[in-house]
Amino acid sequence: MSRAFDSLHPAVSFVFFLCAVGFSMCCMNPVMLLISFISSLLFLFVLTGEKSLKYLLFSFPAAAAVAAVNTAFNHRGATILLYVNGNPITLESIVYGTASGIMLMSVIIWFACLNRVMTSDKLIYLFARVSPSLSLLFSMILRFVPKMKRRAKHIASAQKCSGAAAAKTADRIKNSLSAVVILISWSFEDAADTADSMKCRGYGLPGRSVFYKYSLTLKDVSVLAAIILFAAFSAAGGISGAVYVSYFPAYSAAACGGPAFFTYAAYAVLLNIPLGLCLTEELKWCFLKSKI
Amino acid sequence: MKRLLTLFTAICVIFSLSGCKIELPSSEGAPAGESSVGSCTVSIDCKTVLSNTELLDGSKKEIIPPDGIILAPADISVYEGDTVFDVLNRAVRSRGIHMEFSTTPGYNSRYIEGIANLYAFDCGELSGWVYSVNGEFPNTGISSVKVSDGDVICILYTCDLGQDVGNGYGERQ
């Protein structure tokens, strides 16, 4: 795993993810959707390797469901393909559903990246001074699901060990119910433990230092400046209407000219800043190794 | 894989049990094996939008016909037991005009949400589709009025709760 983006100041990475998720959610332009989707996937691949394919596989059903639901319940659009129960199924609603499915997928993948980069200590570093209890809660929530999954596995294997593995469906249901009860009480206990132990350490008191010391270096500042610059370019393109699209009643888009290409380019650069950092680091390392 | 297959089968079963009727755009929705008992005239217009363009939703500007007429008076066959909704549905189907409606299952009543992508509330908060039969505005739902031979049915878009198309809904009270 590349450390180039990881080692940046947490505020810089946070601003990047804010931009990435925000723009991905707001832009329904198909080109920008694809840029966001591909960039998020590439970044996740750099961060996690083959595991990124698993995310792709899991987020795909969500996207397909969004597309299907939109097609079934949204009857707007000029091109009628079929009638289901008298109401039209239109090409535009299928296209719009697919677009929002891709949007959802890229947002899920950006959040997966965020989970890898913004570890709980970084979140606490960022927000502890603003609101100690909220930042602790936020960091606990973010790692809650993976932790719960791990624990569910533990409980299941413990149940198997103790001979509770049952062949009958009724017994299996009973076992899984008790597993859920164990899981919930374990999580409650753990949350209370965490709160107690943080209190014991004086968490939230003034003058408390942090585990990692991050300082804003020149590199951080320049990356932050690049993020803000390209985000401003993308936002300007979006506000000026250069990349305007409308899916209903018929698909229509702003004329594909210079401003649109400029916005696409700025957006692509913005979303690939972390990828670029990781790749340059990788290349530098290879170059240095070759000299030894 | 086995789970996915089960899920897929379950969805298919639910889909078929829900009684979805899938039709191609070419089908006109005429009841099979019945002969018509007459014909009526159906017209659809949204002329009121032309005088309220400042209220119109920006994305809908291009779909409004310049003269406001979506369907010029057309002869539509009437079958036994037809309601205004059935006749309207047949008219828009046979001409490929877009229409969306919602159904309240218990009463089998229909509500016209939009015709030709022009929806209720697209032109101000008092806008929507209303209908008249022989110049009268029945004060009931579109699927509860029976059509007889020679009726003149107008489907009108109002921007003012019916006042601007001649239905004094507010005045009557």
Residue B162 falls inside a structural domain = yes
Q: How many domains does chain B have?
A: 1
Please check whether residue A60 touches B, CB under 8 A.
no
Summarize pLDDT for A123-163 with one digit per residue, the tens. 888 888 788 888 888 888 888 888 899 999 999 888 888 77
Residue A240 falls inside a structural domain = yes
Residue A207 falls inside a structural domain = no
Residue A86: list chain B partners with CB under 8 A: 21, 29, 89, 101, 103
pLDDT of B173 reads: 45
Q: Clarify whether residues A91 and A110 are in a common domain.
A: yes
Confidence bin at B169 (pLDDT 50/70/90): low
Domain boundary among A148, A174, A200: A200
Please check whether residue A84 touches B, CB under 8 A.
yes
pLDDT of A115 reads: 86
Q: Please indicate whether, in this complex, the C-beta atoms of B63 and A249 are within 8 angstroms of each other.
A: yes
pLDDT higher at A103 or B9: A103
Chain A nearest-CA distance from B74, in A, is 21
Residue A205 falls inside a structural domain = no
Which residues contact residue B147 at a Cβ distance below 8 angstroms, ignoring those fewer than 6 apart? B40, B78, B82, B83, B84, B86, B87, B133, B153
Specify the 3-state DSSP secondary structure of B122. strand
Which residues contact residue A248 at a Cβ distance below 8 angstroms, ignoring those fewer than 6 apart? A76, A77, A92, A96, B59, B117
Euclidean distance between CA atoms B173 and A70, whole angstroms? 41
- Mean per-residue pLDDT, B93-101: 91
Residue A29 falls inside a structural domain = yes
Lowest average pLDDT, out of A113-117, A118-122, A232-236, A269-273, goes to: A118-122
Domain boundary among A153, A170, A200: A200
Residue B29 falls inside a structural domain = no
Query: Which chain A residue is nearest to residue B62, measuring alpha carbons?
Result: A249
Residue B93 falls inside a structural domain = yes
pLDDT exceeds 80 at position A167? no
Query: Which chain B residue is nearest to residue A77, measuring alpha carbons?
Result: B117
Euclidean distance between CA atoms A250 and B115, whole angstroms? 14
Interface with chain B: mutation pick from A75, A91, A93, highest number of B CBs within 10 Å: A75
pLDDT higher at B15 or B137: B137
pLDDT of A165 reads: 63
Summarize pLDDT for B116-149 with one digit per residue, the tens. 999 999 999 999 999 999 989 988 999 999 999 9
Residue B80 falls inside a structural domain = yes
Q: Please indicate whether, in this complex, the C-beta atoms of A82 and B60 are within 8 angstroms of each other.
A: no
Q: Clarify whether residues A144 and A193 are in a common domain.
A: yes
Q: Clarify whether residues A217 and A157 are in a common domain.
A: no
Residue B142's domain comprises 39-167
Interface with chain A: mutation pick from B59, B70, B94, B119, highest number of A CBs within 10 Å: B59
Please check whether residue A82 touches B, CB under 8 A.
yes
Query: Nearest Cα to A203, choosing from A139, A129, A142?
Result: A129
Specify the 3-state DSSP secondary structure of A168. coil
Burial level of B106, CB count in 10 A (0-12/13-18/19+)? exposed
Query: Nearest Cα to A79, choosing from A95, A68, A94, A90?
Result: A90
Burial level of B24, CB count in 10 A (0-12/13-18/19+)? exposed
Please check whether residue A69 touches B, CB under 8 A.
no
Residue A85: list chain B partners with CB under 8 A: 20-21, 103
Q: Clarify whether residues A187 and A61 are in a common domain.
A: no
Residue B113, domain CATH: 2.170.130.30
Euclidean distance between CA atoms B145 and A77, whole angstroms? 29
Q: Clarify whether residues A37 and A104 are in a common domain.
A: yes
Residue A149's domain comprises 130-200
Token pair, residue B82, equals 């037809």
Residue A154 falls inside a structural domain = yes
Euclidean distance between CA atoms B142 and B88, whole angstroms? 9
Residue spans of beta strands (DSSP E) within A16-57: none
Task: Please state, in angstroms and as integers, the Cα–Cα distance from residue B53 to each residue in A111, A198, A252, B64, following that order.
Answer: 43, 62, 21, 10
| Cross-chain CB nearest to B23 (options A83, A246, A249) | A83
Residue B134 falls inside a structural domain = yes
Q: What is the CA radius of gyration of chain A?
A: 24
Residue spans of beta strands (DSSP E) within chain A: 80-84, 87-90, 245-246, 252-253
Cβ distance A136 to A124 under 8 Å? yes
Q: Clarify whether residues A119 and A227 are in a common domain.
A: yes
Residue A206 falls inside a structural domain = no
Domain boundary among A200, A232, A259: A200
Please check whether residue A86 touches B, CB under 8 A.
yes
| Cross-chain CB nearest to A85 (options B20, B98, B99) | B20
Query: Which chain A residue is nearest to residue B86, measuring alpha carbons?
Result: A86
Q: How many domains does chain A have?
A: 2
Confidence bin at A28 (pLDDT 50/70/90): very high
Residue B25: list chain A partners with CB under 8 A: 80-83, 88
Token pair, residue B7, equals 């899920």
- Mean per-residue pLDDT, A253-275: 92
Neighbour tally for A130: CB within 10 Å = 8
Cβ distance B113 to B100 under 8 Å? yes
Query: Which chain B residue is nearest to residue A252, measuring alpha carbons?
Result: B59
| Cross-chain CB nearest to A80 (options B20, B21, B96) | B96
Please check whether residue A73 touches B, CB under 8 A.
no
Residue A2 falls inside a structural domain = no
Cis peptide bond N-terminal to B73, omega within 30: no
Could you tell me which residues are beta bridge partners of residue B133?
B136, B153
Query: Which chain B residue is nearest to residue A245, measuring alpha carbons?
Result: B59
Token pair, residue B6, equals 């089960």
Q: Clarify whether residues A120 and A219 are in a common domain.
A: yes
Euclidean distance between CA atoms A287 and A290, whole angstroms? 5
Distance of CA A236 to the CA centre of its chain: 24
Query: Which chain B residue is nearest to residue A79, measuring alpha carbons?
Result: B98
Summarize pLDDT for B45-76 with one digit per residue, the tens. 999 999 999 999 888 888 899 999 999 999 99
Residue A84: list chain B partners with CB under 8 A: 20-23
- Mean per-residue pLDDT, B156-164: 90
Chain B nearest-CA distance from A137, in A, is 36
Specify the 3-state DSSP secondary structure of A39. helix
Q: Clarify whether residues A103 and A248 are in a common domain.
A: yes
Euclidean distance between CA atoms A189 and A191, whole angstroms? 5
Q: Clarify whether residues A136 and A189 are in a common domain.
A: yes
Chain B nearest-CA distance from A60, in A, is 13
Query: Which chain B residue is nearest to residue A247, measuring alpha carbons?
Result: B59
Euclidean distance between CA atoms A16 and A53, whole angstroms? 23
Cβ distance A183 to A152 under 8 Å? yes
Q: Clarify whether residues A220 and A189 are in a common domain.
A: no
Q: Clarify whether residues A24 and A146 are in a common domain.
A: no
Residue A208 falls inside a structural domain = no
Summarize pLDDT for A43-99 with one digit per residue, the tens. 999 988 888 888 888 888 989 999 999 998 999 998 899 888 888 999 999 999 999
- ipTM value for the complex: 0.83
B63 secondary structure, DSSP code: G
